[in-house]
Every structure is written in structure tokens, then in C-alpha cells.
Amino acid sequence: MHHASDILLTLFIVFLAAQVGSEVAQRLKLPGGVGEIAAGCVVGPSLLGWITPEQVASGTPLDVLAEVGVVLLLFSVGLETRLEDLKKVGKVAFLVGVLGVLVPFGMGGVWAHASGFDWSRSLFIAAAFVATSAGITARVLQELGALQRIESKVILGAAVIDDILAMLLLGVVVSLQGGEGIDVVHLLAVLAGAIGFIAIIGIGGARVMRWNSSWLDKPQSPHSALAIVLALCLGLAYVSTLFGLAAIIGAFLAGMIASETRQQHTLEKQTQPLLALLTPFFFVITGSKIDLHQLGNAEAGIMLLVVTLIAIVSKLIGGFLGAWSLGGRSATLVGFGMVPRGEVGVVIASLGLAAGVFTAQIYAIIVAMSLLTAMVTPPVLAWLLRRANASVGTEAVRDDAVER
């Protein structure tokens, strides 16, 4: 009858840590997500050790709750995103996505080679510099009510491109590492599959919903529409993993489809409590994966600093160049928005460790870099957004507020 005791304690610790962390962060004028990641670091193995690495390993209940949390987060971001708006920024987003992958990959590879790794290892390490984790940025943009800004649309569109390219790149480096040649036909098929999935689901789904969404109305139960779109969200999150994409891409598409329905505003409201319960698990558990002990000596510390700097600067350059046409200030915002690597870098590092490509030290450094970029970005982003809002004047800000 009482088997669930331990896991309930852990859920309580994670959830409470998130509340305390986010409260402290908000008092320091930082985004709540930073506080939750920091709280995760505090309750994790670095300090208190209340959450162990085993408890958050892949496939554990906490890992699944975190996954559901970030899936719902991107779903809710999709709910605030219209396909039309994404199309408008299509070209810029594409450029940001492509350059935001190539520049970090290039700079990461050169650094790794210069540090003494052979080329095949260097390219694997470089792949860990690539993939942006959209969850961190999305939360900051949502918290500050900035999802309707053009820069936010560019970031979200670019995150989709980014995920496709990162997946292909990872496929390439894994093949190279295994001593296999690159199967160009296979890669093209994978690329076509991913693009086809996104295009058919995103564009087709949005069209269907715009054409007729009255079937979602069910007077007898106020939550049927929510239940249907949540099923769509879980379903597309799963299907997108079949195409080699991150689950959050499918969730984002599901939200975008649902944003075309008449129920959009109700759905947005109903999604908020889901985020309040579940996204803390994503952020706290992300933070709990930072293990400061492994980075104790000076050499590792300096290496971490260098790697993090390269990760930030390279992504910033890529994003900035890609969004150049929006003007310098917007391009900076977009560039910073692409910086967080979050859990994606952690997963690539784990692959590298499992394949014997990464040493324990380089693994720890890549993980710490991924999470550091996730922690550094939100405050910078918040500051840039406040400055942008201030300079545009109250008019635009008010428009924004009304639109939400």
C-alpha cells in the first residue's frame, strides 16, 4: 500500500526546490528557469546529494517526468505560434539554423584538434557544440511575454532547422567514428523524411484545423478539446523521434496545429497548470546533472571556461550572421537565444562516453558546458529583451501585452 513512499519524497524535493529556486531568481530579477536549474545543482550530487545520478538516468520516472515537462513546454510555445508568422521569417530562420550549426561545429572541431584529439574524435566532440536546446530559451521568451516578437519566431524556426541538421551531423560523426564511410543516400533519405514529416504535419495539420476545428467542441465535457490535443502532442512527440528528431519538435508542431483552432485561448489557459506542475522537473533535473566535483582541478576548470566560451561565441556568431538582416540588436538577441545547449549536449556527450570516444574528463566538461550555456543565457536574454522593449517605447510593449 505504501510502496510509493521514496519516489513521492523525491518528487516533493524536486518540486519544492524548483519553487524556492524560481522565487529566489525572481527576487534577483533573473528568469525563473535559472533559479530552477541552480536549485537542481544544489539538491544534486554537487552539494546536497538528495538527487543522485541514478535517480535521473535515462528511463527513470524522474527522467520521464522531465521529458513530459519539456514536451509540454514546447507544446505551449507552439500554441502561441502561428504557422503564418513562422513562414514570414522562414529565410532568416533557415540562415540562423544553418550558420548556427556550421560555425559551432567548425570552431569546436578546430579547438578539439588543436587540443590534441585526432580528427575523427574532434568531429565527434564538435557535434556536442552544435545542437541548441530550445526549451531553455522558450521558457524565458514565454515568461517575459516575448513570444510574439519577430526574434522569437526566428529562434523557434531556427531551432527546428537546427535539430534536423544536428541529427544529420550526429549520424555522420557516428559513422566516421565507427570507421564506416558516409552513406550519402541514407543521409538524404533521413533528411527528406524529417523535412517531409515537419512539412506534412505542420502545414497540413494547420490547414485542417484552420478549415474546421468545431469538431473539437464538446459541450458535455469542457476538457475534451484539451484531451484531444494532448493526445496529439504525445503522439507527434513520439513520431518525431521515429524521424530522428527530438520529441520537442513534434510537441511544438502539435501546439502550432492547435493554435489554429477556435479553442486556442482556452487551451493556452489550460496548459498553464500543466506547465506549473511538470516543467520544474525538467529544469531541476537538468541542473542536478551538473557535478561540480568532477571539475575541481585548475586544468579542468580552465578547459571548461575555454569550451564554454567557444560554445557561446560560436553560436552567437552563427546566429548573429544569420539574422543580420534584422539589424544588429535583433541579431544579437537571436544569437543569444540559440546559445543554450542544455540536455542535448548532455545526450551527445553520453553517446561519446559510451562509444569510448570521450574521456571521463572531456565528458564532464562537455556536460558542464551544455548546462553552463543553459544557465548563462536566460539572464542575458532577459536583459536584452528589457533593453529592446525600453528602446522601442511603451507603444510596442502595450501592443504586445494586448496581443497576449
Binding residues vs its own copies (CB under 8 A): 1-5, 7-9, 11-12, 15-16, 19, 26, 58-61, 63-65, 67-68, 71, 131, 166-167, 170, 220-223, 226-228, 230-231, 234-235, 237-238, 241-242, 244-247, 270-274, 276-277, 344, 347-348
Residue 222 C-beta: closest distance to its own copies, Å: 7
Residue 87 C-beta: closest distance to its own copies, Å: 26
What is the distance between the alpha carbons of residues 44 and 17, in angstroms, rounded to a whole number?
11
Between CA 61 and CA 348, with CA 133 as vertex, the angle to 5 degrees is: 70
Residue 301 C-beta: closest distance to its own copies, Å: 28
Residue 211 C-beta: closest distance to its own copies, Å: 23
Residue 138 C-beta: closest distance to its own copies, Å: 17
Residue 238 C-beta: closest distance to its own copies, Å: 4
Nearest CB to its own copies, comparing residues 15 and 50: 15
Nearest CB to its own copies, comparing residues 93 and 237: 237
What is the distance between the alpha carbons of residues 145 and 398, in angstroms, rounded to a whole number?
11
Residue 320 C-beta: closest distance to its own copies, Å: 25
What is the distance between the alpha carbons of residues 216 and 209, in angstroms, rounded to a whole number?
10
Nearest CB to its own copies, comparing residues 225 and 375: 225
What is the distance between the alpha carbons of residues 25 and 401, in angstroms, rounded to a whole number?
23
Query: Residue 164 carries which DSSP code?
Result: H
Under 8 Å between Cβ of 269 and 4? no
Nearest CB to its own copies, comparing residues 192 and 276: 276
Task: For residue 211, give the amino acid letter.
Answer: W
What distance lies between CA 267 and its chain's CA centroid?
Answer: 22
Cell numbers at residue 95, please?
A: 540562415
Nearest CB to its own copies, comparing residues 74 and 245: 245
What distance lies between CA 248 and its chain's CA centroid?
Answer: 8
Nearest CB to its own copies, comparing residues 239 and 380: 239
Residue 396 C-beta: closest distance to its own copies, Å: 22
CA dihedral for 201, 325, 371, 287, sign (positive or negative): negative
- CA dihedral angle for residue 69, residue 347, residue 309, residue 323, rounded to 10 degrees: -60
Choose among 250, 270, 281: nearest CA to 74: 250
Residue 348 C-beta: closest distance to its own copies, Å: 7
Under 8 Å between Cβ of 327 and 155? no
What is the distance between the alpha carbons of residues 247 and 269, in angstroms, rounded to a whole number?
23
Nearest CB to its own copies, comparing residues 5 and 391: 5
Nearest CB to its own copies, comparing residues 92 and 338: 338
What is the distance between the alpha carbons of residues 355 and 349, in angstroms, rounded to a whole number?
10
Task: For residue 343, give the amino acid letter.
Answer: E
Residue 139 C-beta: closest distance to its own copies, Å: 13
3-state DSSP of 196-261: HHHHHHHHHHHHHHHHCCHHHCCCCCCCHHHHHHHHHHHHHHHHHHHCCCCHHHHHHHHHHHHCCC
Nearest CB to its own copies, comparing residues 98 and 228: 228
Nearest CB to its own copies, comparing residues 3 and 293: 3
